[in-house]
Structure 1
Amino acid sequence: MLESIVIVGAGQAAAQLIASLAQDGFSGAVTLVGDEPYLPYQRPPLSKKFLAGELAFDRLYVRPAAFYEKLGTRLMLGTTVARIDRQDKAVLLSDGSRLPYSTLVLATGSRARTIPLPGADRAGVFFLRTIADVEALRAKFEPGKSLVVVGGGYIGLELAAVAARQGLKVTVLEQAPRVMGRGVGPIVSRFYERLHREEGVDIRTGVAVRAIEPGRVVCTDGIHLADLVLIGAGAMPNVELARDAGLAVEDGITVDAQCRTSDPAIYAIGDCTVQHHALFDRRLRLESVHNALEQGRIAAAAITGKPAPALQVPWFWSDQYDVKLQMVGLSAGHDEAVVRGNPDEGRSFAVFYLRQGTLLAVDAVNRAPEFMMSKQLIAERARLDPARLRDERVAVKDLKV
């Protein structure tokens, strides 16, 4: 019987899996099932260049249609999966049809987190996760309109930057004491608060939203007028199919080092997964393009019996205005934060996070050399001299002790 792989979810992890399966010599049948009517596309540009109208629609696609046609991949787009029948090894679609599989890969990704807020379902309130979300929001962008962004994370601030540059009056409301608090340290948060204020955005931290009413947002610090409201409360992993099928689920679908779930015939990759990361000796759910691509390669190697790719240090990025933030590693557990450059002036610096002298992570703001070098240093568990890190006369390549 010809081996058949069914992939549920049509994001970047799925696209990478298909490419890697071909590179690794898989000759069986591959079927891709996605609930959106689009080829696998990149999500990071949605809140940046695509929202700003600087990126054409077809440039979002990870691969053109011809790529899947050449490989013989069966595309079932705009199709919803109802459940998984593990006993008979089949996927049941919402129209009642069945897709048998030898191997199933869940690449179900994540969705925008909703919040139990009065008025959150009103017209004029938006979330941003899909192409359709962006197109609906972009149609409302008009200079002079007031936009209130609920949530000061990456998506909220990236969208605020685009809106401010297009002439909207933007207010960002963040309940925590600082913006981007789950992803960066206080030094970087303070910089981004300054950056947005310099660009005309009203940043409010320590503010809780009570309700969204017609034309306004009611908060603990008063009332903010709003023609449009964007809720950026983070993302939730899509684990329902896996949970309903009896697979192990934590804050994501539990997978081993080869991206196998608790059922050896089922793999999971991308934002929907929780996996032990040997470099940090902890279980992580990473929402990043890098992780999606890496897990796509890992799963393909495991399915085809090829050697596993070398483990890489996780990294992330965010573009806001003319500033590129590149983050590598994980700063949790650091006991020292060393700054290279001046975060209080200009728009270029880096923060190195150390634990007992060993580099754990780096937040690099318009500092590509520090970012690139740090990937290697973190992987090597390099020990660094804080004094040399601070001294910009020391070349980046000479930072290692």
Structure 2
Amino acid sequence: MTTIDHTSAGAVSSSGARSVEDIRNDFPILTRQVHGKPLVFLDSAASSQKPSSVIEAIDTYYRTYHANVHRGVYQISEEATEAMEKARVKVARFINARQSKQVIFTRNTSESINLVAYSWGGANIHAGDLIVLSEMEHHSNLVPWQLLAQRTGARLEFIPVTDSGELDLATYEQLLQQGPKLVAITHMSNVLGTINPVQQMIAKAHAAGALVLLDGAQSVPHLSIDVQELDVDFLCFSGHKMLGPTGIGVLYGKKALLEAMPPFMGGGDMIRTVKLRQSTWNDLPWKFEAGTPAIVEAIGLGVAVDYLKALGMNAVQRHEQEITTYAMEQLSTLPELTIYGPEASKRGGVISFTLGDIHPHDLASILDQEAGVAIRAGHHCAQPLMERFGLSATARASFYVYTLKEEVDILIQGLRKALQIFSL
């Protein structure tokens, strides 16, 4: 297994570990310039860049074996079907699912959560039932449950976030005493970087009789995930945040739950038989994959999984931990800068901050123009969390396998330039 080597900036070390500089050679976009400066991409929490292997797999598909899947009996259709279903197996193994049929391909994390809310939620949530969420959720793990509550009369309660950016687990245990039907929480905050103790939280939810949906959009790309060890009921994540293409997401679910759930959408491929007035449904996973699926996107995701597995997810996390620790140390040297969230050891590669009275959008613009640095600015689709900290927006830097400490230094230089511009 290849791992990330932090000790050298050259080629593969004698131990077999790949340096970050070597890894960066796999990402063509990292060679481009913006505003006459090398691109410093620090927005991987929004969407990661893609290695050449993923780009080439997509190109090869369209050039040599593009055809619809599951239906054609001719060679290139069979090739496309085989490649897509192999990708499903790769994803299942990546998260250690028991069977590949537990991996449902969707468009993104949002669609995966909506699928559960409409299908499982519509069949199992009734007036007065409790759904437990948290204050740090992305809108994608808030709005579907709000809509379900409006349709059914269910109620929502929220685990508070402490001043340090962690979940208030004492309040969580009190909420569990109210007998919720579902707990839907993020594994890792896209704003604070907080890695929540989900294995402990899942066990306690199950003891209280609740199912658990985990938003893994930020965790699956960066941490080693084992759905059997976690014993999670549903896990949702996106391909584009883990080196794969856009337009492909995953819903993992326990087999018995998925088999009992009604279809989310109707159309081709999700049916077994169709008559004028009634139909019967296909087996898992195709029951939830109506119409022509994201074929090449799934194939690209499979190649992205290959890439991450070759690096080793423990090595990926160690690298991001090192970069995050270094970045927090360097950011802390700047006057007027406030970092939100826990210490580096309790977070992933995400840092949200404010710099004096400079609006985060102005800050992001200055960094882009003056330093070629791409960061995110805004509420990060987590407005309730912003309100919790009395903010309208933050700047956010986020890291991945290709991030260098030197890029953090360029970020710091750009922030110092912003301080000069605003004379703070």
Higher relative contact order (CA 8 A, sep 6+): 2
Question: TM-score, normalised to structure 2's length?
Answer: 0.30
Structure with a larger share of its residues in strand: 1
Structure with a larger share of its residues in helix: 2
Question: TM-score, normalised to structure 1's length?
Answer: 0.31
